[in-house]
A and B are shown apart, each in its own frame.
Chain A
């Protein structure tokens, strides 16, 4: 699915990632944990193509439908259309555009690129309905401006709704659990779990082991000072929970 090779990234002359190697295969769930400022969010944003980050060395190879692509050559919107989804840690507010309009535009752009038929509003609403119900969102959500005035929990649910609508191959979820109460966390985790198939891969970024009780990862990596310092299975997360990160340094 994705192969990250010796990735070095700087932002405003500070090197944040200092040689990341990571391979995610189809169907796998990976979790990245690590202390504040270790570069977790940077990694997710670089994969999605955020323009503020400069890749100084290394490569990211993305394989979809048996075709390998140099991901770093692609514009962020093309990455999205190719099946990469970034769930934002802080979803962006866009006043003046209704959530429905935004979701539909996004869906249709991706459909058009992938050669799937676009949907008119009514059809799209029917398509949305079960997804809203699953995430315990009311239709009123659709008619509010994108993320504008949403609570923290609503914003995160809206991200998962987009995940379900766009149905990508690789989901990068940046601290999707932060700011959620237990009930919302269950709903969001349920949304992520239902995304899991043998074709789809997930990269979870989180501070806490808590999320991993709901979404079980196949692999856990610890990122510290821009490098993956330890990889393992779920037990690694529990170890971090118990001991913190210091023992790794």
Chain B
């Protein structure tokens, strides 16, 4: 077997980043650096109530006592937090009354990304909240949602119009004391999405937030809060891209999900932030805290993520299974190429009786990339009859990449059943030749192998997203010359 062929397979992973364009737009930014004044300014700019400013300041104070985590299996360059802008928004009117007032340049940006926001394009059956840099640009389909009482709006609007709900739930799943980046986010978060599904309502549309970082040297700190009241159901989708820049950009988001009795939340992410060039220059640092709380009995939270971008990903969408019979799922595909580093996984904390969780993680690494699965399954003494099944599979393309698995299992109740399976495989030139000799071209062969590998995860995505995810992975695997 020649090494030359092996190299060719890797070439297929070198698709240029097609979302790397920059939108030329005037922005309003605060001075660089982080201090109490900047936080006050952010809060003031957004007309926030006092309690929220206090929350931010407490978080900031706490953050100053923390140091960045060093345990991830990643080489993270030191981030100069004083050299970042903490607030950037397109310079325009204070608030858009309708999307028609949004700068056409911005709408065009989302158009290019395949996220239609304009009226005539709203037939896709997905309600979208578009977040550009730190500010939500607008949310589609709001009227349809209002009819059934679903609240879906930017975080800022939620603070203004649904203050009680925000106050009741914000920080209850990811407290600002949780970790370094969560504390930072709590201090400086600028916007994000808010969603509330009332009792007994099955959300008539899939909800979607689309994040776009544009401004230079700007941290993006958005916060998503999603509350599913008793007996409700929602599919939530999240997509992300950023321009191609030589310097790194920080993205430190927090996502909190709350599911009350009998509620179901399916939260899916297709993450395609710019991942830097072949030499590893530039790209997004994606340091995100995502956590769901199955607060009520029989509640269910499923995380599905397709992580295909970012220079460094540090992310562990988790579930706290508090309610009896509640269910937490984590389905993940993480693809790394070039010099990308991903340290991702999940935590399943079983507290309630008969709680169940499933973890399916698929890591694909190519070139010189590092792909880590890190997981915790914790069964508390109260979690009588808890069950967990974990499966962590890694696929290697070439021989310079690495895959690591760090599962932690902590069982404090003897009635619990915990299973863990793991495997590592490699795409070899011989596999490609075998499939070719059966009539499939190279591209088809690679995509068959990879899609076969990821199938269990892709099938958990809503149809539209699943198509997008398959395309994204195939695009990353495609040869630039064809």
Contact B425 A96 (CB under 8 A): yes
Interface 9-residue window, one of A17-25, A73-81, A176-184, A232-240: A73-81
Contact B2 A76 (CB under 8 A): no
CB-defined contacts of B441 to chain A, threshold 8 Å: 75, 77
Contact A51 B2 (CB under 8 A): yes
In this complex, what residue of B is CB-closest to A165? B438
Closest CB of chain A to B444's CB: distance in Å?
A: 7
In this complex, what residue of A is CB-closest to B443? A77
Interface 9-residue window, one of B139-147, B187-195, B270-278, B449-457: B449-457
CB-defined contacts of A63 to chain B, threshold 8 Å: none
Contact B425 A76 (CB under 8 A): no
CB-defined contacts of B436 to chain A, threshold 8 Å: 49, 75-77, 80
Contact B448 A97 (CB under 8 A): yes
Contact B452 A101 (CB under 8 A): yes
CB-defined contacts of B442 to chain A, threshold 8 Å: 77
Contact A52 B5 (CB under 8 A): yes
- Within A78-130, which residues are at the interface with B (CB < 8 Å)? 79-81, 85-86, 88, 91-98, 101-102, 105-106, 109-110, 113
Given A51-B2, A96-B425, also A76-B453 (CB < 8 A): no
Interface 9-residue window, one of B150-158, B427-435, B460-468: B427-435
Given A95-B425, A96-B449, also A50-B433 (CB < 8 A): yes
CB-defined contacts of B425 to chain A, threshold 8 Å: 95-96
In this complex, what residue of B is CB-closest to A103? B438
In this complex, what residue of B is CB-closest to A112? B439
- 8 extra A-B contacts, CB within 8 A, seeds A77-B440, A81-B439: A77-B435, A77-B439, A77-B441, A95-B423, A96-B449, A96-B453, A97-B449, A162-B438
**A side interface size, CB within 8 A:** 33
Taking beta carbons and an 8 Å cutoff, which residues of A are in contact with B? Answer: 11-12, 48-52, 75-77, 79-81, 85-86, 88, 91-98, 101-102, 105-106, 109-110, 113, 162, 166
Q: Does B437 sit within 8 A of A, measured CB to CB?
A: yes
In this complex, what residue of B is CB-closest to A145? B452
Taken together as a complex, chains A and B put the C-alpha atoms of A105 and B452 apart, in Å, by: 12
Contact B5 A96 (CB under 8 A): no
CB-defined contacts of A106 to chain B, threshold 8 Å: 435, 438-440
Q: How many A-B residue pairs have CB under 8 A?
A: 86
Among A77, A92, A98, A113, the residue within 8 A (CB) of B430 is: A92
In this complex, what residue of B is CB-closest to A168? B439
Contact B439 A96 (CB under 8 A): no
Contact B429 A51 (CB under 8 A): yes
- Identify the 3 closest CB pairs spanning chains A and B, nearest first: A97-B452, A92-B434, A76-B436
CB-defined contacts of B433 to chain A, threshold 8 Å: 50-51, 76, 92
Contact B435 A94 (CB under 8 A): yes
Taken together as a complex, chains A and B put the C-alpha atoms of A50 and B433 apart, in Å, by: 7
CB-defined contacts of A96 to chain B, threshold 8 Å: 393, 425, 449, 452-453, 455
Among A52, A92, A109, the residue within 8 A (CB) of B440 is: A109
Over the window 252-280 of chain B, the binary record of Cβ atoms lying under 8 Å from chain A Cβ atoms (1 yes, 0 no) is 00000000000000000000000000000
Q: Does B1 sit within 8 A of A, measured CB to CB?
A: yes
Which of B5, B429, B440, B449 has the largest count of A CB atoms less than 10 A from its CB? B440
Closest CB of chain A to B394's CB: distance in Å?
A: 12
CB-defined contacts of B435 to chain A, threshold 8 Å: 77, 94, 102, 106
Taken together as a complex, chains A and B put the C-alpha atoms of A105 and B423 apart, in Å, by: 25
In this complex, what residue of B is CB-closest to A109? B439
Taken together as a complex, chains A and B put the C-alpha atoms of A86 and B438 apart, in Å, by: 8
Contact B437 A80 (CB under 8 A): yes
Over the window 399-426 of chain B, the binary record of Cβ atoms lying under 8 Å from chain A Cβ atoms (1 yes, 0 no) is 0000000000000000000000001010
Among A85, A88, A101, the residue within 8 A (CB) of B434 is: A88
Task: Report, as a range, how many residues of chain B touch the other chain.
Answer: 20 to 34
Taken together as a complex, chains A and B put the C-alpha atoms of A101 and B449 apart, in Å, by: 11
- Within B356-379, which residues are at the interface with A (CB < 8 Å)? none
Taken together as a complex, chains A and B put the C-alpha atoms of A91 and B449 apart, in Å, by: 16
Among A12, A49, A52, the residue within 8 A (CB) of B437 is: A49
Taken together as a complex, chains A and B put the C-alpha atoms of A244 and B1 apart, in Å, by: 30
CB-defined contacts of A86 to chain B, threshold 8 Å: 437
CB-defined contacts of B423 to chain A, threshold 8 Å: 95
Given A92-B431, A95-B423, also A51-B437 (CB < 8 A): no
Closest CB of chain B to A205's CB: distance in Å?
A: 15
Closest CB of chain A to B424's CB: distance in Å?
A: 10
In this complex, what residue of A is CB-closest to B393? A96
Given A92-B434, A96-B455, also A105-B2 (CB < 8 A): no
Pick 24 A–B contacts, CB within 8 A, sort by A: A12-B2, A51-B2, A51-B429, A52-B5, A77-B437, A77-B439, A77-B441, A77-B442, A77-B445, A93-B431, A94-B431, A94-B449, A95-B425, A96-B393, A97-B449, A97-B452, A101-B452, A102-B448, A105-B444, A106-B435, A106-B438, A106-B440, A166-B438, A166-B439
Contact B452 A94 (CB under 8 A): yes
Taken together as a complex, chains A and B put the C-alpha atoms of A183 and B224 apart, in Å, by: 64
CB-defined contacts of B437 to chain A, threshold 8 Å: 48-49, 76-77, 79-80, 85-86, 88
Contact B439 A80 (CB under 8 A): yes
Closest CB of chain B to A149's CB: distance in Å?
A: 12
Taken together as a complex, chains A and B put the C-alpha atoms of A88 and B430 apart, in Å, by: 11
Among B4, B5, B429, B440, the residue within 8 A (CB) of A105 is: B440
Contact B434 A110 (CB under 8 A): no
CB-defined contacts of B452 to chain A, threshold 8 Å: 94, 96-98, 101
Closest CB of chain B to A21's CB: distance in Å?
A: 24
Closest CB of chain A to B391's CB: distance in Å?
A: 12
Taken together as a complex, chains A and B put the C-alpha atoms of A86 and B423 apart, in Å, by: 30
Taken together as a complex, chains A and B put the C-alpha atoms of A102 and B452 apart, in Å, by: 10
Closest CB of chain B to A187's CB: distance in Å?
A: 21
CB-defined contacts of A101 to chain B, threshold 8 Å: 448, 452
Closest CB of chain A to B127's CB: distance in Å?
A: 35
Taken together as a complex, chains A and B put the C-alpha atoms of A81 and B438 apart, in Å, by: 8
- Within B144-201, which residues are at the interface with A (CB < 8 Å)? none
Closest CB of chain B to A209's CB: distance in Å?
A: 27
Over the window 104-124 of chain B, the binary record of Cβ atoms lying under 8 Å from chain A Cβ atoms (1 yes, 0 no) is 000000000000000000000
Taken together as a complex, chains A and B put the C-alpha atoms of A52 and B449 apart, in Å, by: 21
CB-defined contacts of B449 to chain A, threshold 8 Å: 94, 96-97
CB-defined contacts of A75 to chain B, threshold 8 Å: 436, 441
In this complex, what residue of A is CB-closest to B429? A51
